[in-house]
Amino acid sequence: MKVHFYFQSNINGDLDLNKFLPGIIKRFPDSKASMDTQFIGKRRIVLENPIQKTKIVKLGKNIDCDIDVSFKLYLYETIGYGYLDICLDINKEVLTKIMDDDKNLFNNIIPKSKIKKDGELKDFASSLIMPLFIEKLYGDKLFEDKSHSFYQNLEVDMDQISTKINNYKEKYHSTPIIIHFILSFDITLNPSVFSLIEDFDDELNVSSSWENISKKDNLLYQSNNLHARICKNKDIINPLEAFHFTYDYNRRIADKFLEWNKAWVKGLGKEVSNIRDNISKDNSNPYYWKQLKKRIEILDLNFLEFNSYVIQKIDFSIADKVELYLKEEYIEKIIDSNKNQKENIFRYLNEVKTAISNLSTPGHTHDEKILQEETEKVNDRILMLSFIAMSIPTIGAILTPGIEKSIKIMVGGGILFLPIIYLLIRNTIKKNRFNKNKQLESNRIIGQLEGELERGKAQIDDINNLKEMPEEFKNQLLEIHSTLLSQLESRIQLLKEKL
């Protein structure tokens, strides 16, 4: 009897599958890779056996077993969505014993599964699944990139934003989704909600805890306790797989859009304390207010791009519901859930728009500082014109015969060098004032980044103290967090070098 478990992943951006496919073929030389659009009209890369067939030899501490496992992986353009089908060929007795517990089927099997690798028992998920997504699927050991270009704060060197984004697109074959000022590949991985059991020979007894979700008897059942669906008829397996995928895909899209919207709200909320602090202290640093205006304008454009992306992708359709004869009330629940998710997403989008508009208000009230700088430039030009106008009679006078040549040279030199000296002094004062203001602002940013660094170190300590977490998984998390902290330290060092 076959049982399908699904892992799903995504990145912060859209993949260019045409450019991505050659890398997939190179990283998976023993697998068959192809591209098609046959599945609910979405382009995808199909990867047969991304992990070579293996055996689960132990479930938990008490069940010795010999379960064949095969794998198939699908990769889509939108948010780089990855969908791994883990198919277990498990006998009825073992499955029934696990199902009698009436708890989440995935949690009762996958985290407890052991395989033999290099002569030792290893955790199935941490030794096979995690490395597949983190080290191979999206790039060859992506997080070992010493340049740390997979995670960048675009606030540093804002004048280089376009260059950084273009370099990112070229390197990772992905159009990034920028949240606030963060340009990040950010792989997210988790299991899907429901597993799928193929019971074509009607071997499993369906108890009262199973809901018949089809209009036809003995066709399709769902258990919210086991988080599983049972298919009793081989003829509907293809439309069921399409429905199953679409259900997971829609939930993933909705969850990520909500998560990213909340990240926008959280990021904008952090901006408030900084601006409020500077207003309350009557910060008259014109460099700060000029940079703030620039920051908010870039934030606004980043959000405009994000908002447009969400509107394009937020289409929660239900696939092949007719062929499955699904009950109307079951379909209505899914439609209502999708509708609520859409409403929440749009509500958050409107909140972010309002927040950005409100953040721009303090900058407008300090526009007089920028206006003052421009006025000073105009005054300098008027002064120069006045000086030239006043110099014309003087020049006529020194050209009069009878005046000694040395006096003419001295007066002419004075006329020539006086405005030059004035401009040099003015430019020096402006440059010193600009550098001082820039230094004050850089010190403020460094202080904020050092605060993030301390919080990151605290997170690493928390992970180290998690005794129940599998050691391999803990090491992978520590490696990722350490890499991010290393990049944060590099950014702080870069800012300090520019002081």
Report the pLDDT value the prediction gives residue 399, as an integer from 0 to 100.
62
Label residue 193 left, alpha or beta by phi (over 0 means left) and psi (-120 to 50 means alpha). alpha
> To which residue do tokens 């939930």 refer?
251
Q: Of 253, 234, 148, 156, nearest to 196 (Cα)?
A: 234
Report the pLDDT value the prediction gives residue 19, as an integer from 0 to 100.
92
DSSP reduced 3-state for 252: helix
Q: Which residues fall within 8 angstroms of residue 73, CB to CB, at 6 or more apart?
A: 46, 47, 50, 82, 83, 84, 85, 132, 137
Report the pLDDT value the prediction gives residue 70, as an integer from 0 to 100.
94
403-439 burial code (b ≥16 CB/10 A, e <16): eeeeeeeebeeebeeeeeeeeeeeeeeeeeeeeebbe
**Using an 8 Å Cβ cutoff, are 182 and 154 in contact?**
yes
Q: Of 451, 437, 427, 453, nearest to 499 (Cα)?
A: 437
What length does the chain have?
A: 499
Report the pLDDT value the prediction gives residue 405, as an integer from 0 to 100.
67
Q: Which residues fall within 8 angstroms of residue 371, CB to CB, at 6 or more apart?
A: none
CA distance 12 to 183: 8
**Using an 8 Å Cβ cutoff, are 59 and 98 in contact?**
yes
Number of other CB atoms surrounding residue 148 within 10 Å: 15
DSSP reduced 3-state for 64: strand
DSSP reduced 3-state for 9: strand
Report the pLDDT value the prediction gives residue 221, as an integer from 0 to 100.
93
Report the pLDDT value the prediction gives residue 394, as an integer from 0 to 100.
64
Report the pLDDT value the prediction gives residue 59, as an integer from 0 to 100.
85
And the tokens for 247? 């259900």
Q: Of 15, 334, 302, nearest to 187 (Cα)?
A: 15
Task: Give the dihedral of Cα atoms 231, 237, 243, 244; nearest 10 deg.
Answer: 60
And the tokens for 328? 């109307």
| Tens digit of each residue's pLDDT (9 = 90 or more) over 260-305 | 999 999 989 888 887 888 788 777 777 777 888 888 899 999 999 9
Q: Which residues fall within 8 angstroms of residue 231, CB to CB, at 6 or more apart?
A: 196, 197, 198, 199, 200, 219, 220, 237, 240
According to DSSP, residue 147 is labeled: T
CA distance 198 to 2: 5
CA distance 415 to 412: 5
| Tens digit of each residue's pLDDT (9 = 90 or more) over 105-129 | 999 999 889 998 877 888 898 889 9
CA distance 464 to 483: 16
**Using an 8 Å Cβ cutoff, are 352 and 303 in contact?**
yes
Report the pLDDT value the prediction gives residue 122, as an integer from 0 to 100.
87
**Using an 8 Å Cβ cutoff, are 250 and 81 in contact?**
no
Taking the chain, what is the end-to-end CA distance rounded to the nearest angstrom?
A: 67
Report the pLDDT value the prediction gives residue 229, as an integer from 0 to 100.
94
Residues of the chain with pLDDT under 50: none
The phi, psi pair for 120, rounded to 5°, reads: -120, 155
Q: Which residues fall within 8 angstroms of residue 236, CB to CB, at 6 or more apart?
A: 219, 220, 323, 324
pTM here? 0.78
CA distance 215 to 210: 14
| Chain centroid offset of residue 81 CA | 13
Label residue 430 left, alpha or beta by phi (over 0 means left) and psi (-120 to 50 means alpha). alpha
Report the pLDDT value the prediction gives residue 52, as an integer from 0 to 100.
87
What's the sign of the alpha-carbon dihedral 384, 385, 386, 387?
positive
